[in-house]
Amino acid sequence: MPDATLSPTLSTPESPSLARLIGRIAALIGSENFPTGERAALKRLAPDRPPSLAFYRFCFQHLPEGWQRQIGAWQTVLAGLALMGTSAHRPDRSVGQALAEHRYSEARLERLLVAQDDVLYTLSLRVARFLAAKGESVNWLDLARLLLAQDREKREAVRLQIAGDYYRHQKNEKD
């Protein structure tokens, strides 16, 4: 059962406010004015290690109340954005489409879409590294919703969307 004290942004991961938040933090991390040492510290975040002070500083300054209830998910979002660089977020480019275009394997996609908790965080960072290596920018709202969804139905809806985008685009590639 969701905690009633969570802000609307965090309790409803598909809300427009989450889209604005992801856009804002992606722009901030990708800004040429963002300190390179801070970006490097965010890149080093990992689900199997305690968060750094750079993570806490960023979260307390830029995330809404309640982020502390999902530290692993936020570590992953911030690390992924930092890993993908200055143009990580592109709202008109779905993750599924980008993965299909770059021939991301179905087996890896399946592992991502069925994963939970720390495994989901690790595999999401692998997706970020894969896309970064391809010089790709994607709609980070897709991944943020997957990572932050606390409700089984909401997480399933995100999985369905990512898979649908992947297969719709994969079919177009074969035609």
pLDDT for residue 170: 87
Instruction: Let me know if residue 3 belongs to a domain.
Output: no
Instruction: Let me know if residue 15 belongs to a domain.
Output: yes
Instruction: Let me know if residue 98 belongs to a domain.
Output: yes
Rounded to 10°, the helix 152-174/106-114 angle is 170
Identify the burial level of 135 via C-beta atoms within 10 angstroms of its C-beta, where 0-12 means exposed, 13-18 middle and 19 or more buried.
exposed
For the chain, the domain total comes to 1
Instruction: Let me know if residue 30 belongs to a domain.
Output: yes
pTM to 2 decimals? 0.88
Q: Rounded to an integer, what distance in angstroms lies between the CA atom of residue 145 and that of residue 48?
A: 21
CATH number at residue 116: 1.10.520.40
Tokens of 131: 């896309």
Written as tens digits, the pLDDT of the chain (175 aa) is 333 333 333 444 445 699 999 999 999 999 999 999 999 999 999 988 999 999 999 999 999 999 999 999 999 999 999 999 989 999 999 999 999 999 999 999 999 999 999 999 999 999 999 999 999 999 999 999 999 998 999 999 999 999 999 999 986 555 4
Instruction: Let me know if residue 4 belongs to a domain.
Output: no
Its domain, for residue 166, covers 9-174
Instruction: Let me know if residue 130 belongs to a domain.
Output: yes
Instruction: Let me know if residue 2 belongs to a domain.
Output: no
Instruction: Let me know if residue 1 belongs to a domain.
Output: no
Question: What's the pLDDT tens digit per position in 135-152?
Answer: 999 999 999 999 999 899
